[in-house]
Structure formats: C-alpha cells, structure tokens
A and B are shown apart, each in its own frame.
Chain A
Amino acid sequence: MAKMGILIDITKCIGCKACEKACKMRNDQPLTLDEHLSANAYTVVQERLPNTYVRRMCMHCENPTCVSVCPVGAFTKTAAGPVVYDKYKCIGCRYCMYSCPFSVPKYQWNKVVPYVQKCYMCADRIEEGSEPACTAACPTGASIFGERDKLIEEAQKRIKDNPDRYVDHIYGLHEVGGTSILYISNVEFEQFKAPFNIALPDKPLPMYTWAALEKVPTIVVVGGVVLTGIWWITSRRGEVEKFEAGSKQEHWWRFGKKQEGVKEKKEDKQ
C-alpha cells in the first residue's frame, strides 16, 4: 500500500473544530472542548495567532521515536503510514511520552490500568479504503488525506502558485526524517513554537540512540575477552605464588630446618 498522509494547510483553517468533534465521535470520547492534546483529545485546533489556527495531532513520523524507544515494541509504523499502539503490550513506562519530539502521546493518569493515548490516523478506516474521520469532516479542505508523495506535490504546487501567501517550507518533509503529517503555512513555523520545533534535526532521532546501542555487542565481546584475560593473568600469578610457597613448605617438612635456619641468621646479625 502506498504511504498515506495528511496535509494541513494553516491558511485554510477557520477554527471550526469539526475535525476535533469528528475524532471524538469516532473514538467515543466525551465531547468537550479541549485546549491541549490529552488522553481524551487526539487532535485539537489551537488559535496560536489571531485568526491563525494550528491543528495538532500525532505527526506519524516516518522513522518514529516512539516506535524505537518502547521497550516492549508497543508502537508500530504500519505500511500505510499510521503509527499505531498496542495497548496490551504496553507496560506504562512512559518513555514514549518523554521522548516524542512533538510530545504527542498522552496518558490516562487517573486510571488504575492506564494506557497511552494518541491519534492513530484512523488506521482501521484507511485499511477499509476510507479516509480518517477528521479529514472527512473538514469543511474547508484545510486537512486533506492522500498519498504522502502526492500531498508533497500538492503542497509544493500551492507554495509555488502563491509565493506571497505561503512561506517556502513544508513542515514534516525533512524534520526528524520526515512525517506523514505535513503542514504549510503563511507564518514562519518557528513563530508557533510547538509542535514546530525548529531545533529538531533532520536526522531521525532513533539514530541518536542507535549510535550508542550498536556498540553493545562490541562491548560485550571486547569486555568479555579483556576481563577473562586479566583474570587469567592475575590468577596465574596467584598460582605461581602458591606453588612457590608450597615448595618451601615441603622443604621445611623434609629437613625440619626452616626455623633453625631463620634463627641462625638472626644470631649472625646479633
């Protein structure tokens, strides 16, 4: 299946929050108006600048941090693009929340058996050949669903056709190795701050930890050899000492002279 994605055109968003509502209905969440992403809000529309609305949701990274950090592999990046969560596997360490560059995963803090919650790009609907509930509900076309490559072309075309209207930056094209959700905007992205963290490198974050992890087998092998070697040398030394001590002992037994010998020497000195 082709890689799907969502293109969010900030210039077109009117802040109607239809997507929020559609998402909540889809996921049986209480219909509240939320300001921030939470376990009950997979997407929110925030008025960041006067009359400028930013819709937030999981970025569905191409090389997702959450997938790489989870010790039990509860997250998977599906072939179609969505990053989905297996609530059975999860042990609740919350490393995914700590490390997600866009701080997307949220937690059910007040449940006895809590789960991580985040947008899953309506993966089941995509599989059925349909589109996510939120893009389907968007009245202005500010969020459109499609193949990621096509969306990129579309974004480039919009920027090229209206260079006065858009800043020349497709957010999500390269950031942290690319994301399935793409943004274009009339305002420099850094003015919005989160999630458009300008400090984020283009290198996928999992490569940072992999640089350390890939050394593990080397450390094990080299460490094992070196330590065994040191032990072998030191224990040989111990054995030699023991052996020498042993032969002395034997000498003393046989001739019964050791102590006398010592005494004689002392007397000599005196």
Chain B
Amino acid sequence: MVRIPKITFWRIIIAVIMVLGIYYTVIRYTQGLGAVTNLSDQYPWGLWVAFDVITGVGLAAGGFLIALTVYIFRIDNYKPILRPAILTGFLGYTLVAVGLLYDLGKWFDIWHAIIFWNPRSVMFEVAWCVMLYLTVLALEFSTVVFEGLKWKRLNQLIHMLIIPLAIFGVILSTLHQSSLGSLFLIVPAKLYTLWYSPLLPLFFFISAVSVGFAMVTFESFLSRRFLGKGIELNLLNGLARVNVLVMIFYLTIKIWDLAGRGVLGDVLSTRFESIMFDIETLVQVIIPLVLLLIPAVRTSTKGLFVSSLFVIVGFIMNRLDVAITGIEASSGAHYFPAFGEIAISIFIVTIGFLAFAFLAKHFPVFIEPKENEEEPVEIVHDI
C-alpha cells in the first residue's frame, strides 16, 4: 500500500509501533485511562494532553502561515509550499482530534462541546477554534483531492470561497494558538515562575509561528527523503530568514518579560525547572538563531535541516515543560509517562506520517498545476 523506498528496517519499526499501538488502544478503551497511563489525581494532565494535543496544534501551524503568505499577502513564490503545508496542517489537527479521543475520559461525549457552552472557558474557545479550523483546512485541502479526482465543479466552488476561508483560518489560528497559552493563565500559583507569565498567550503564538516555519522545512526534507519530492532550497531559505526575525522577537520579549517580573535571576538557579527552562530556550531559540544567522548554514540543505530540527525539538520541550514539568513542584508528585502512553503517542504520529505519504503519493500535493503547458513528445532513437 504505502511504499516507503527504504530497507525494510523502517517497515519493521512501523509494524512494531502498529501492533503496540493497537494493543494499548484496546486496553485503554476497555479498562480505562488508569490501565495505560501514569496519570494520577496529582497529575491529571500527562503526555497525551501535553504532546498529542497542545504540542500537536503548535506543530501544525505551518498551514495557516503559508495560507497567509500565499492567499493574503499574495507572495506567489510560495505557492509550491502551500499544498504540503495545508496537508500537514490538516493531518496535524486530525491527529490532535485523535489524541483527544484517547485522552478524554468520556471521549464519546466529545460533541458536548458543541451543545453545552461555557464562553468563560479557554478550553471552550480552543475546542471551537480547533473544530472550525479543522473544517477550514479540510475545505482548503479538498481542492487538491477534487483536482486529483477531476471533480471540476466542486473545485470551482471551493476556489470561490478560498479567500474568505483563508482569512477565517488565519484568525482562528491566531486565536487558538495563543489560547493554548491562556489555558495556563489559570494556574498562577502552580506553574513555575519562569514559565508563568501574563504573556503566555503571546509566547505561545509567536513560538507557534516559529515552529510552523521550521515544520514546513523539516517536512520538506522528510518528503524528499522518503518520497523523492520536496520544496526547493530558495523558498526554505526565505522561510528561515523570516524565522530569524520571529525568533529574535520571541527572545526579546521573553527576556523583557522575565526582567519585568523580576525573575530573570532564576534563569541561573540550579533548580531542576530552571535548568529545563535554560535547555529549552537554548534549543528552541538561541542555537537555531545563531545557526541561521550564519549565511553558509542558512543556504545549505543540511544547515536548514539541523536548525529547523532544533526549533522543533525546543518547541516541543517548551510545551511539555509548561504543561508537565512546570507544575511538578506544586503538585507534590512526580510524573513520567507510562510505556503505553508513549506507545500510543508514537502510534498516532506514525499514522500521520503514513497518511501524509499516502496522500502525497496519490494526490497532486507537490505539483502545482501548470497552465496547459505542452510537453514535447519524445521520440527516442532506436539503436
């Protein structure tokens, strides 16, 4: 089915992940959360919320950024990136929904969010934005599917809606990317001071922008690696430049905020949390920033790959730190995910990769339609 042009090693890994994933899925749905997770009354939120949901939404930010660039700013150069970025966004958000279905205690009641409203709840806002944005992404991506299936009429219909959809999508993304940070505004006494800040929504939004660019770059390499299709260097270089600005901005307001709250000194403390904060900031911002400021790195394939990997890993660390590490001290308990939690998380990510590979292979994701360009017929000389 899905062809991964690779020695069977990865296929074996994938098979193992699938088997484990299915096994733990069965246990989770037949015996409850306690049977698979290390969650407890002291630690009600673990890897699934922090990684699969909160981090996942951030990692899927590339879609809205590129939609903004192409549809609103009309920078046509970036058209070739649009489709892969929207596809990753769509898959990313779908996986977030899948992650939620694992994590919610009463997952079968997930639709309650539609009928029971609580506009005072940040979670309510996030739920609605994610729901609506998933719809927007599905519609945006449907052009690709319709094109692949050659359904002209529907495609034209969507094309008419594409600009309002794009605008709507950008607004929704801005809202929920920042609202994920607002989720933690409610725990001023629980979250470690280096992370708790009234500016959390802003931090979450900016870092999502930064990681969105990094993800587009990273995925491009992955798809070139596994599918032989990708995005050209010049465009990625452009994204890297923008990302440099974003990261400088992030770092500046981060320092400004720490200083303003008078906790800048805690950065040097030897507390576990402080050390984690330092590692996270180094990996997420400082190292990639330094790397990308070197022109030789910025213009080389490897350099871009490595620096975007730094941004992504650092971003993930940041989200996990805020959601898990940051409340460790106040919860009075220690949390480390159970094997089942890790297995399910990897399972979900793997499904995402496979779905991307499948769609990229069977639908025109990487090729922009050329306006009826004629290919010269090739007559090969027989020898």
Contacts and interface: CB of A to CB of B under 8 A. Distances in A.
Direct A–B touching in the complex (beta carbon < 8 Å)?
yes
B321 interface: no
B293 interface: no
6 contacts: A36-B41, A71-B113, A94-B105, A107-B33, A112-B30, A114-B33
B35 interface: yes
A101 B198 CA distance: 17
B123 interface: yes
Given A92-B106, A97-B41, A230-B72, A73 B186 contact: no
B125 A213 contact: yes
Interface string A78-109: 00000000000111111101110101001111
Interface in B102-147: 103-107, 109-110, 112-113, 116-127
Given A69-B123, A71-B118, A114-B32, 6 more contacts: A68-B186, A98-B187, A112-B29, A211-B198, A234-B74, A235-B74
Question: Would you call the interface of chain B mostly helix, strand, loop, or mixed?
Answer: helix
A212 B179 contact: yes
Interface of B: 29-35, 39-42, 44-45, 49, 68, 71-74, 103-107, 109-110, 112-113, 116-127, 163, 167, 170-171, 174-175, 178-179, 182-183, 185-190, 198, 201, 327, 330-332
B171 A224 contact: yes
A72 B116 contact: yes
B105 A209 contact: no
B106 A110 contact: no
Contacts of B188: 199, 201, 205, 208
Contact of A212 (B104, B123, B182): B182
A205 B188 CA distance: 8
A140 interface: no
A200 B198 contact: no
A85 to B, nearest CB: 13
A89 B117 CA distance: 10
B29 A223 contact: no
B185 A220 contact: no
B31 A110 contact: yes
Given A109-B32, A227-B171, A208 B186 contact: yes
A89 to B, nearest CB: 5
A91 B106 contact: yes
Nearest to A238: B74
A216 B106 contact: no
A210 interface: yes
Interface of A: 36-39, 65, 67-74, 89-95, 97-99, 101, 103, 106-115, 194, 197, 199-201, 205-206, 208-213, 216, 219-220, 223-224, 227-228, 230-231, 234-235, 237-238
A110 B122 contact: no
Top 7 A-B pairs, shortest CB-CB distance: A92-B105, A109-B34, A73-B118, A97-B44, A71-B123, A234-B74, A72-B116
Nearest to B331: A103
Given A199-B189, A224-B171, A110 B32 contact: yes
A199 B107 CA distance: 35
A211 to B, nearest CB: 7
Given A109-B40, A209-B122, A101 B105 contact: no
Contacts of B35: 110
A234 B112 contact: no
A61 to B, nearest CB: 12
B171 A98 contact: no
Nearest to A201: B188
A89 B116 contact: yes
Contacts of B331: 103
B332 A92 contact: no
A39 to B, nearest CB: 8
Given A90-B106, A94-B45, A110-B31, A101 B189 contact: yes
